[in-house]
Chain A
Amino acid sequence: KAGVTQTPRYLIKTRGQQVTLSCSPISGHRSVSWYQQTPGQGLQFLFEYFSETQRNKGNFPGRFSGRQFSNSRSEMNVSTLELGDSALYLCASSLARQELNEKLFFGSGTQLSVL
């Protein structure tokens, strides 16, 4: 079974631009969540999508948004990029079945650098 795939692996943008990151979950997984990782703040939860609906949201400004498609693939978008948005963005998928504990399976991440 293929793992969680994130594209692109690396991205360089300039301040003020916007960026879209993509995540393909493991086949059959219905939940996709996004995390931002920086040296100073560690791993921080951005949001989680389940069945095309945002189910949970972290404490990030509205410049950070996401969506999930009917095939469970997800995208996250950051508008008006700031230097502080430079980070490793990680996507995780899980089965999200009612009866089961939820192991998260992470992708390798997208390393975003904002210049």
Chain B
Amino acid sequence: DAKTTQPTSMDCAEGRAANLPCNHSTISGNEYVYWYRQIHSQGPQYIIHGLKNNETNEMASLIITEDRKSSTLILPHATLRDTAVYYCIVRRHNAGKSTFGDGTTLTVKP
């Protein structure tokens, strides 16, 4: 699986959009981009995934660059409950294994 690079930490004001970047320059054509988040002492929670098109669901939006070498997770209106560690991973379909990096610690401030 391709390696990802994320900033160690980010801050965001409550109510503003949180934009979390992820670099995956060695991504292969058959690898998907997945985002998970982990709130302290809980298991990671799936947020969104995509292959090449931008995706949106009730939690977030995922913007993938045309060359697929990077992506951005957007939380449109961050709340205090969005404070968590956000992981960007890339994996092949049906790979069975996900490689988690260190993630980005997002702190939403009032």
A interface list, Cβ under 8 A from B: 4, 31, 33, 35, 42-45, 48, 50, 55-56, 58, 88, 90, 92, 96, 98, 101-109
Which residue of the partner chain, among A44, A56, A108, contacts B96 with CB atoms under 8 Å? Answer: A56
Q: List 21 A-B contacts (CB under 8 A).
A: A4-B43, A33-B96, A33-B98, A43-B87, A43-B100, A44-B100, A45-B97, A50-B96, A56-B95, A92-B44, A96-B94, A101-B32, A102-B95, A103-B34, A103-B46, A104-B44, A104-B98, A107-B43, A108-B41, A109-B42, A109-B43
Cβ of B101 within 8 Å of any chain A Cβ, yes or no, is: yes
Bound Cα distance A92, B44 (Å): 9
Given contacts A103-B49, A104-B36, contact A43 B96 (CB under 8 A): no
Query: Which among B34, B44, B93 has the highest number of chain A CB atoms within 10 Å?
Result: B44
Given contacts A43-B44, A90-B44, A108-B43, contact A102 B97 (CB under 8 A): no
**Contact residues in A for B28 (Cβ distance below 8 Å):** none
Which residue of the partner chain, among B36, B44, B49, B100, contacts A101 with CB atoms under 8 Å? Answer: B49
Bound Cα distance A33, B36 (Å): 16
CB < 8 Å A-B pair total = 58
Main secondary structure of the interface of B (DSSP, over half): loop
Bound Cα distance A90, B102 (Å): 16
**Contact residues in A for B103 (Cβ distance below 8 Å):** 42
Bound Cα distance A56, B94 (Å): 11
Cβ of B99 within 8 Å of any chain A Cβ, yes or no, is: yes
The closest CB in chain B to the CB of A58 belongs to B97
The closest CB in chain A to the CB of B44 belongs to A106
**Contact residues in A for B101 (Cβ distance below 8 Å):** 42
Interface residues of B in 31-54 (CB under 8 A from A): 32, 34, 36, 41-46, 49
B interface list, Cβ under 8 A from A: 32, 34, 36, 41-46, 49, 87, 91, 93-103
Bound Cα distance A31, B97 (Å): 11
Nearest chain B CB to A83 CB, angstrom units = 21
Bound Cα distance A66, B39 (Å): 27
Q: Is there contact, CB below 8 Å, between A106 and B43?
A: yes
Given contacts A43-B44, A90-B43, A108-B43, contact A102 B102 (CB under 8 A): no
